[in-house]
Structure 1
Amino acid sequence: MADKPGRPKGETQTRAALIEAAKGCFLHNSYDRVSIRELARRAGVDAAMIRYYFDSKAGLFETMVRETIAPVASVFKHDLKKQQNSPEALMRAYYRIMEHVPALPRLIFQSLNQQASDEAFIIVSNVIHEMLGYAGDWIKELSDQQKINPQLDPKWVRLSFISLMVFPLIAPKVLLKQMNLPLSESMLDQLIAHNMLVMNQGLFQVPPLESSGPGVQK
């Protein structure tokens, strides 16, 4: 198919290269220290392409954050009655992302707490506000389905769930090293299993086991 008038060739590749450059720059440097020139150099494109695709450095930063966490948002926004949208599925989606971009949680944490840049703070705040809204709807749906421990307030369940899921990836590296918890696919799978055990015995209501035959009690 012919390129649209005015659009540069290799559009998809150029946009993707800029997103990857944004990950490489923003995840390892403060927002204000990353220049448009550095982003373009790393992507191997003209700096004008940033304005063409994203309007500004801030637009590229926001797109990078949103597209990186999109799989988690997708699980949040889909029907909880489906098995693939269970709490375990949400954690698995989150950890699969973080396995490849482990610096993202720290970027979010620093942007919200240090406020080194107004632009970065506003962007990350808006994204997190949306995600917390999804999480609130998600916990409410679980509560409506009577899958939340009735002794617990859903707002604290939401906080506990997010804390269990997020903290290991923003914990100081020295702490994880001392606890012999190197970030890896195997470690994250074990963390999911541990978190689900903790939550199923504290946060969520586990359905009683069905009888599978004579001699087996419910």
Structure 2
Amino acid sequence: MTKTPGRPSGDARDSDTRQRLIREARSLFIDLPYHQVSVRQIARNAGVDAALVRYYFGNKGQLFEAVLRETIEPMVTAFQAALANRRPETLDAMTHIYYRTIISQAPGMPRMVMRILGNPADSEPFNIMYQTFSRVIELTRVWIQNGLGDAGLLRDGLDPELARLSFVSLTLFPLIAPPVLMQKFGFSPTTEHLERLANHNSEVLTGGILKRPNGDSHE
């Protein structure tokens, strides 16, 4: 049988290989500074040859980008669905999707994001992170202003930009704050606590930035 040039045999045909590489790379990028993570280490943890990283992704930077994009994809899909269905309940759905599909599988992701953004602005990890998350940040703007604001769901006089900041702050802060501080509030990133936080934040945001069901603004 003739092999395709540059295409590794064996594991390259394993449909699970790519996801194993994504999973192990995400774990390493969360636990270690970007420059300390190597392609060989990722491949070793995934139980495959390092050539498969090049085959599926090209290099470490492209693998890092794939990790970010695939992790946040549920939120991107949710934002797009929310824009198509302008209803108050999309706020609740968005909050729960964030915790259930992203944070449940990678609770250390927000802390990693903050660590990467502390790198020099001209560094590879900063640029990859900035470009990837710019898409989500823009979607939050469009969702708040168009999905909720233009649909008449926001409270009268509410600043959409500050509403967006409130959404990001409530969902992000508990996961980037020092663990010793969050312990004082009785919070840890367990499934149970994340579900409680999702419910709480949904109630706070719904009650704080949306109109009442009868169309009146909150007093």
The normalised TM-score by structure 1 is 0.87
Mapped contact 1:31–1:117 kept (Cα < 8 A): no
Mapped pair 1:208 → 2:214: yes
Per mean C-alpha deviation after superposition, the further-off stretch among 84-93 and 101-110 is 84-93
Quote the Cα distance in structure 2 between the aligned partners of 1:41 and 1:83. Answer: 46
Q: How does 1:51-62 map to 2 (within 5 A)?
A: 51-62=54-65
Map of 1:64 onto structure 2:
67
Map of 2:135 onto structure 1:
130
Deviations, residues 22-58 of structure 1 (Å, cap 9, x unaligned): 0121110000011111111111111111111101000
Map of 1:92 onto structure 2:
96
Deviations, residues 137-163 of structure 1 (Å, cap 9, x unaligned): 101120001111122111111111111
Map of 2:110 onto structure 1:
105
Q: Quick one: higher RCO (CA 8 Å, sep 6+), 1 or 2? A: 2
Percent same amino acid among aligned pairs? 36
The normalised TM-score by structure 2 is 0.86
Quote the Cα distance in structure 1 between the aligned partners of 2:137 and 2:25. Answer: 24
Structure 1 113/206 Cα, relative in aligned 2: closer, same or farther at 3 Å? farther
Mapped contact 2:76–2:136 kept (Cα < 8 A): yes
Q: How does 1:1-218 map to 2 (within 5 A)?
A: 5=4, 6=7, 8-9=9-10, 10-80=13-83, 81=85, 86-96=90-100, 97-115=102-120, 118-140=123-145, 141-208=147-214
Quote the Cα distance in structure 2 between the aligned partners of 1:82 and 1:33. Answer: 44
Cα RMSD (Å) of the superposition? 2.4
Gaps of 5+ in 2: none
Quote the Cα distance in structure 1 between the aligned partners of 2:87 and 2:153. Answer: 14
Letter in 2 for 1:172: P
Gaps of 5+ in 1: 210-218
Letter in 2 for 1:77: Q
Give the superposition deviation at 1:87. 1.1
